Amino acid sequence: MIIAGVPRAGKSTISHLLSRQYGYQYISMDSIIAGFEKCFPETGVNTYQGLSSLETLRVISGKMAPFVRTMLENCGYDGPEPGMVLDMYQLLPEDYDKYIRGANCEIAYFITSDVTPEERFLIQKKYDTEKDYTFYKSDEELREGAEYLVEQSILIKEECRKYGLPYYETAKERDRAFHRFLQEFGFER
């Protein structure tokens, strides 16, 4: 199961829930991407490469999607039971459709597109914890990031509609969106 979308939309919350309650192996793709950035800069996987927010998202998504497909294809003989959950920020629906669809996995996107950047900033402040790299950023940096995250959420929503992929808007009714996800994917009856 791939749980994708923007930061503080509930990806990790849902991913950890699936891991704890249903036995899925949890994998943080953010950690893997950070490893690529630091150890293999020649791959071009770099969050801070001077591009716009959307272009950075597109570059990393396009490079990581084939990697994820390979991971999924090669864990069959020694794969975790009942499965694994990949918690991943930088995966666009277009790249899921191009590289991953058809692999033995499902995907759900968690976004915050139905808010203003200021409302998105307040969501960030509410859900940031000391474990999050953004916890230590200034309010000015977070406000700038909020604009990007709304913009990215809108793009993800449009692409989910285009490719027929499920997405969950968590900006205003987060718990309801989580419940709907769990029901629609058969985790709750």
Any idea where the domains of the chain sit in the sequence? 2-182
- Assigned CATH for 2-182: 3.40.50.300
Distance in angstroms (rounded) separating the CA atoms of residues 161 and 146: 23
Contacts with 153 (C-beta within 8 Å, 6 or more apart), sequence order: 5, 6, 9, 111, 112, 113
- What pLDDT is attached to residue 74? 76
Say what percent of the chain tops pLDDT 70. Answer: 96
Instruction: Look up the pTM and report it.
Output: 0.91
Question: Which pLDDT tens digit goes with each residue over 170-182?
Answer: 999 999 999 999 9
- What pLDDT is attached to residue 46? 83
- What pLDDT is attached to residue 8? 87
State the DSSP string of 112-174. Answer: --SS-HHHHHHHHHHH--TTSGGGGS-HHHHHHHHHHHHHHHHHHHHHHHHHT--EEE-SS-H
Question: Which pLDDT tens digit goes with each residue over 93-106?
Answer: 999 999 999 988 89
Residue 24 DSSP code: P
Question: Which pLDDT tens digit goes with each residue over 13-43?
Answer: 999 999 999 999 999 998 899 898 899 988 8
User: What confidence tier does 109 reach under pLDDT thresholds 50, 70, 90?
Assistant: very high
